[in-house]
Amino acid sequence: MIVGTAGHIDHGKTALLKALTGLDGDRRPAERERGITIDLGYLHADLGDGQPTAFIDVPGHERFVHNMLAGACGIDLLLVVAADDGVMPQTREHLAIAELLGIRRALVALTKIDRVAPERVEQARAEVVALLAPGALAGAELFPVDSVSGKGVDALRSALLAEATLTAGRRADGHFRLPIDRAFSVSGAGVVVTGTAFAGQVKVGDELVLSPSGRTVRVRGLHARNQQVDQACAGQRVALNIAGERLALEHLHRGDWLLAPPLLAPSTRLDIDLRLLPGEPHDLAHWTPVHIHLGAQDVTGRVALLEHNSLAPGRRTFAQLLLNAPAHAVHGDRLVLRDQSAQRTLGGGRVLDPFAPARNRRTPERLAELEALRGEGLEAALPALLSTAHNGLDPQRLERQFNRPRTGWALPEGAVEIPTRLGPRLFAQQRWQALAQQLVEGLAHFHAELPDELGPDRDRLRRYALSELERPIFIALLEHHLASGAVQASGPWLHLPDHRVQLSPEDELLRQRIWPLLEAGGFDPPWVRELARELTVEEGAMRLLERKLARLGQLHQVVKDLFYPDATIRQLATLARQLQDEHGSIKAAHWRDRLAIGRKRSIQLLEYFDRIGFTRRIGDQRKIREDSALAQAPMP
């Protein structure tokens, strides 16, 4: 259990912790001089069960609420109210923050009872009961205490021990993640960071990454429960001695995260389930600038409301946070919103999707996905997510979104995993079958519209039949059809098995006459007009025949009226591969010299390769696209 104080300034939080534990908190000189807690203080103490309990002393001054929030993530709660003052503004704000952070259990210490009459103690008790009544902490036990004399402290300590047995531990089966709330240097050891482990486990020797920077670090030493250990886990206060290449203290900031490498995916868009506090005087408007407190981080941004243009006090809605700096989050993380000047807590929410889309964020389909994500976990959300995922679901993204390693997943009935060249994708079986049918129907429609063409190439077919489908998924779908024989390929052209473009007897005779001339031309074949003149054939008839042969996959039209035999194009592709192997890329000068046909023609050939997807131009050079049909076809 991690006990954190909450309450108004000068209500005796620090003195109470000293009375409970016998220890002074970790306080800085400026705090001792001013007599108030400015930043987070930490200590560990054995309350009587033989196990050290972690305590976090947070500031009560309104100017330091951002410090309080950095320590409040991951705590169980001890609310402190002074009997002489009763409920004060920061008491209310700290309580609201605790509820927004999902804290559902608390004990209340009514301090400074030695300063007031018994009647005032009862009055203060009634104020606290009324304050807690509407929220999740209603019915919390109250303990009148005097931190100076120790009156009531033993009863509070016993209640804390009992509470420790009821406090639910955090999940330890996910990847390790810890928000950094302090970073400092220790002589002889180096950089040390502290925080409350949110999930997973960490061991000495583990490699972790800092988010958002992505810097890799190694764990040299660990402290948990105020002692040196070899391993720590979720729910513990942890101090990690870390080392990394040229790692310095200035590379670390409060609000950074230490993560297991699979979780590194900083985001600047978060979709959340947002609730505006009931006490807010005005509606929250769309695009309001705010401070977002997530983990130990305080980052500015704006709220984009997804269902309405304003949100009334006490109501909830789906919203997207657009952050001004990258942050780390997973599904279920709690966050708090404060106003632009960081003077007032507005509300808070629960992260639903840390990788929120920039477009179509208000569509009915997207809102249905967010409704499914309101559930507690991956298994609850998967069926609905699969039903709306046109391009399937990326398991790696889901693993990061929910912090659930794939080894522990249970896929819903009717889900299929499709391998693609960019990794697996999850689809609803019905959706995958519908895509397969759509591809075949699209190809049939193409044949009906263009009966004299053998068929489209793969990219043209994707644009024609399944333009919304991502290319790697389309290729996986197409390869499935090719393997089953539902679709056939003739060179780069795709067609249904029973579709054929056939030459007439006259066309076949003319083809036999021109073919030796085209082959003899090598890398510089004759133009349409030259062939027509050589064979005494009308130029329009020659052009029509060569275009028909191109649709059959026997010729390639590089530029208007210039056609290359398929075998010659494959020879050129082999030369391009050799150039890339020799030089790392294909440069126009090297290509011209290798072909020895002049710069203009060599550039035309390169541009043709770009058009058919065999090469990709990068500045003044080109690279072969390894997933293109020509790159994968056997070379002569």
Q: Which residues fall within 8 angstroms of residue 182, CB to CB, at 6 or more apart?
A: 40, 193, 194, 195, 254
Q: Which residue has the tokens 């810097």?
A: 215
Q: What is the pLDDT of residues 35-59, one digit of tens each?
A: 445 466 777 777 877 777 877 777 7
Report the alpha-carbon distance of residue 445 to residue 129 in Å, rounded. 72
Report the alpha-carbon distance of residue 377 to residue 235 in Å, rounded. 19
> pTM value?
0.77
Q: What is the pLDDT of residues 578-587, one digit of tens each?
A: 999 999 999 9
How many helices and strands, by DSSP H and E, does the chain display? 19, 33
Q: Which residues fall within 8 angstroms of residue 582, CB to CB, at 6 or more apart?
A: none
User: Is-contact 285 242, C-beta < 8 A?
Assistant: no
Tokens of 155: 């009863």
pLDDT, residue 420, reads 94
Q: Which residues fall within 8 angstroms of residue 567, CB to CB, at 6 or more apart?
A: 519, 636
CA atoms lying within 13 Å on the CB side of residue 439: 28
Tokens of 515: 């073919």
- pLDDT means per 10 residues, the chain with 636 residues, are 79 82 60 49 75 74 55 69 86 85 86 92 93 90 92 89 68 86 90 92 97 96 90 91 93 94 96 96 96 92 97 97 97 93 91 95 94 90 91 94 88 91 93 95 92 85 94 95 93 88 86 95 95 94 91 89 95 94 94 93 95 91 89 68
Q: In terms of Cα–Cα distance, which of 32, 36, 27 is closest to 8?
A: 36
- 3-state DSSP helix/strand/coil % of the chain, to nearest 5: 35, 30, 35
Q: Which residue has the tokens 């764990």?
A: 219
Residue type, 475: I
pLDDT, residue 61, reads 46
pLDDT, residue 89, reads 86
Report the alpha-carbon distance of residue 127 to residue 132 in Å, rounded. 9
User: Is-contact 400 263, C-beta < 8 A?
Assistant: yes
Q: Give 530-581 as a DSSP string.
A: HHHHHHT--HHHHHHHHHHHHHTTSEEEEETTEEEEHHHHHHHHHHHHHHHH
Number of Cβ within 10 Å of residue 2's Cβ equals 18
| 427-433 CB contacts, 8 Å cutoff, 24+ apart | 427/386, 427/389, 427/392, 427/393, 428/386, 428/387, 428/389, 431/386, 431/387, 431/389, 431/390, 431/392, 432/477
CA atoms lying within 13 Å on the CB side of residue 84: 10
3-state secondary structure of 610: helix
Instruction: Sketch out the chain's domains with CATH numbers.
Output: 2-166 (3.40.50.300), 177-263 (2.40.30.10), 267-369 (2.40.30.10), 375-501 (1.10.10.10), 505-632 (1.10.10.10)
Q: Which residue has the tokens 């029509």?
A: 544
Report the alpha-carbon distance of residue 520 to residue 473 in Å, rounded. 41
Tokens of 63: 């100017």
